[in-house]
Structure 1
Amino acid sequence: MTLTLMPEATYHRVLVAPHVELNVAVAGSGPAVVLLHGFPQTHLMWRHVAADLAADYTVICPDLRGYGASDKPAEDDEETYSKRTMAADVVAAARALGHQRFALAGHDRGALVAIRAGLDHGDAVTHLLSLDVLPTLDMWDILRGADAKVAWHLYLMAQPAGIPEPMIEATADSFFASFLDGWTADPDAIPESYREEYLRASRGAVASIVADYRASAGIDVTHDRADRDSGRTLEMPVTVMQQDWGAVLGYDAAPLWGAWAPDLRHVTFDGGHFIAEENPGAVSAALRELMKR
C-alpha cells in the first residue's frame, strides 16, 4: 500500500536547485502553510494536521532534501545540507507552486530549516511555528556533561564522513526505530504502516541524513553565530512548542528563544517528541492561532 498525505493531496516533483527536486504534497486552498517534517520521518507525519488545515489553507508538505522521496545529492561540501541551503529549497518550492509568501511550521530537523528560512527569507515567511527544538547554536551551548547523553546521536552523526555512515547502515532499522519508539509517549500515535514507511525511507537515506546532522555541528553553527553577533532576529510572529528538556539539561528555553524571536509565544507541553502525530489537535490549534497574529 502506498501511503499518501491525504486522499485529495496532489504530488509534485519541484525543481529547487540544479539537479535537486523535492517531493511535495499539496492539499486545500487559500493562504499557504508549509509544513516541514522531522527525523526520522517524512512529510507523512503531518497527515492529521494537514487534513485539518486544508479546510482553510493551501497546505504544502515537502520531503526535505535528503529525506523521503526527495533527491539526495552527494555531500560535495559543507553547504550541501546546511540549513541555509535546505531553507532555500523550501522557499523555491513554495514559489514554484505559486506562493511568494507563506506561513511555515517545522518539527525537529524541519524546525531548524524553518528557523533558518525565517532568518534568511523574512520577506517570504509570514509566521513561524517550531516544534520541539532549540535553535542550533543554543542546542550545542546547553549540551554538556553526562546529561548530554540524551543527544548521543548528534555527536555520532557529527563525525567526519566515512565514520558514522557504515555504523548506522549496519543496524539501520534498529537505529532509526530507537528514536521512533523511544521518543513516543503514545505508541499508537504512529501506526505500524507509517512506522515501517519511516524506517524504509530512512534506511535508504543514511548518507544524506548524516550529512544533514553533520552540517548542524559545523556550518549551521557558523551561520547562527554570525546572526547572533549581528543581532539578526526572526521578525515574524513565532510560536514555539516543546517538551521541558530544561528539566533534564538545566536551562530555561523561553529566554533562549526570546533572544531570536521578539514576537514570541512559548509553550511547554507534556508528551512525546512527535507531537504532530501524538496531539495533532494542539498543533493545528496553535498554527491557527499563530496566523491570527
Structure 2
Amino acid sequence: MRGVVIPATTGPDAAMLRDDVPEPTGAHPWAEGERLLVDVRAAGVNFPDVLQSKGLYQHGTETPYVTGGEYAGVVLEAPESSRFRPGDRVAGLSVWGAMAERVLGIPRYTVRLPAHMDWAEGAAFFLNYATAWFTLHRAGFTEGESVLVHGAAGGVGTATLDLLRGKAKPSIAVVSSDAKEEVARACGADNVLRSTEPWAARVRELTGHGVAVVVDPVGGDRFVDSLRALDVGGRLMVVGFAEGSIPEVKVNRLLLRNLSVLGVALDPWEKRFPGYAPELVAGLEAAAEEGRVRPFIGDRLPFDRAAEALGILDRREARGKVVVEFP
C-alpha cells in the first residue's frame, strides 16, 4: 500500500511517499489487543508528528514508520466486542501510521462521524478537539469565565476557540499576524492581540483584572507573561511547546496570587482514571452530530503531496488544521 514514511529521525524533510509500505498487522500497541482497521480517506497532521520526525516525541516509534497521528475513514475490521462495525464512518487518534491507505485505530480514541462532516473535517476533528475538551475539563472552566488562547490560529487553538464560542466572557486570542487574526476571529475569538505587543498588559486592560484561564500550546518565553495575565486564582494550562523551548517558573509567582499551573496529557489521565475516554468520546460525538463544532482547515493537500504536510507545521505556516486528502 502507499504511505508517507519517515526513514530516519532527521526532521520533516526526510518524509517520503512510498508505494511499498507493509499492510498493518495485529492491533495498535495502544489498543490492548483490539484490532480496528480503517480504510483512510483523510489524514490530519499535528505538531507531535513533527516532533516524532525529529526523535523528540515521548510517544514515538522506531524508524522507519508511517507518519500521521490522526485519520478519518471507513472501518474495515473491528472486534466483535467493539461498538464499531465494518462500514462505519470514523475518525480518531493513531499516534503514527495515518498517512497511509490503511491504519490501525485505537478504539477508545475513536469517534463516529456524522454524515454531514466530510473526510477532511473528520481528520481535523478528534485530536485537536479532544485536547481542547480535556484542557477545559482540567481547567474546571465554567461558562462565563474569561479565557486567553495562545497559538490561536493553530489546530488546538482554533478548536479551543470553537468550543468556547459564546461561552467564554470574553475569549482572547494571541496571534502573530493579520492572516492568523482572521482565522482566530472566524473561530469565535472576541478579542485578538498580537504576540509582538505587550499583550499581558492589554489583557488586564480588557478584563480589568486578568483572565481566569490561559490555554498555552506554545510555551517558550511568553510563559511568565501568561502568569501576569491571570486573575487571582487563575489557571495556566500547559498543552505543549510548539515554540520549542520548555519554560520554567519561580513558584513565588504562584503563591502571591493563588495561581495554578496544570499539565494537559490525556492518555496518562485515562490510564490512571479509566472511564474518562468514553465520557470524552460521547461528548465529542454529540457535539459533532448536533453541528456544534466547525473544524478550521487551512491547508488541504492531495495524497501525492502528502510529504509536504509536516513542513508546513515545522515552518509555523499552518493556519488551523493541515489535512491530507486521499483519492
Instruction: State the TM-score, normalizing by the size of structure 2.
Output: 0.27
Give the structure, 1 or 2, with the largest relative contact order (CA under 8 Å, sep 6 or more).
Answer: 1
Normalising by structure 1, report the TM-score: 0.29
